[in-house]
Amino acid sequence: MKKFIPLALAFSVLTSGAITVSAANQEKIQVESHKRGQHFKQMKNFEEQVHKANALKIERLEIQKEIVKKKDQLFDLHVKAGEKNVKEKRSSHKAGWQEMKQIHQELRTLQSQAHETKKAMHDAFRANNEKLALEKMNQWLSLNEKINNKLSEKSAKLDEVLAKHK
């Protein structure tokens, strides 16, 4: 009997803590689901912009897919040139690679600006400021269009490099 009382006391302490934690988690889940519902009600007003953002993302992924294919072709050409010991031909294209480096730096700048703008847009959504959110959404879409244009420019530059190597 003396052993049973401490065990029962320990058990009751442990289970009461678990019940308290469970109740707190349930309340947190209800608050989050309410916030999520509010978010989708707000986003209903931005349906057109969301569809445009998705279309831009699809376009960007297609361009990136082309770039990867072109880089793969370029890799094969470099391997063949390395086997034939054609160093003068490989080093003569440095100017093109410098331009490619410039495009890459511009892309990084645009991507960081887009990231910061998207964060500001989400902050505006959380603050229920639809006007600012719409402004930031339009800025973000504009930056994504610029990113797609830079990626297209990069793809065109890779085409030039491929044409020179063949």
What are the tokens at 92? 């003569």
Nearest-5° angle of CA 129, CA 120, CA 124? 15
Using one digit for the tens of pLDDT, what is the confidence trace for 94-138? 777 788 899 999 999 999 999 999 999 989 988 888 899 999 999
- What is the per-residue pLDDT for 29? 64
- What is the per-residue pLDDT for 53? 93
- What is the per-residue pLDDT for 162? 86
Q: Which residues contact 81 (CB under 8 A, 6 or more apart)?
A: 89, 90, 165
- Regarding pTM above 0.85, the answer is no
Using one digit for the tens of pLDDT, what is the confidence trace for 50-94? 899 999 999 999 999 999 999 999 888 888 877 777 665 556 667
What are the tokens at 9? 């006391």
Tell me the pLDDT band of 8, cut-offs 50, 70 and 90: low
- What is the per-residue pLDDT for 114? 95
Judge whether 89 and 81 are in contact, CB under 8 Å: yes
CA atoms within 13 A on the CB side of 108: 6
Judge whether 118 and 140 are in contact, CB under 8 Å: yes
What are the tokens at 103? 């495009």
Tell me the pLDDT band of 34, cut-offs 50, 70 and 90: low
> Within its chain, how far is the Cα of 97 from the centroid?
26
Judge whether 49 and 137 are in contact, CB under 8 Å: yes
What one-character DSSP code corresponds to residue 49? H
Dist CA 128 CA 126 (whole Å) = 5
Nearest-5° angle of CA 149, CA 153, CA 156? 140
Q: Which helix (H) or strand (E) holds 93?
A: none
What are the tokens at 81? 């040139």
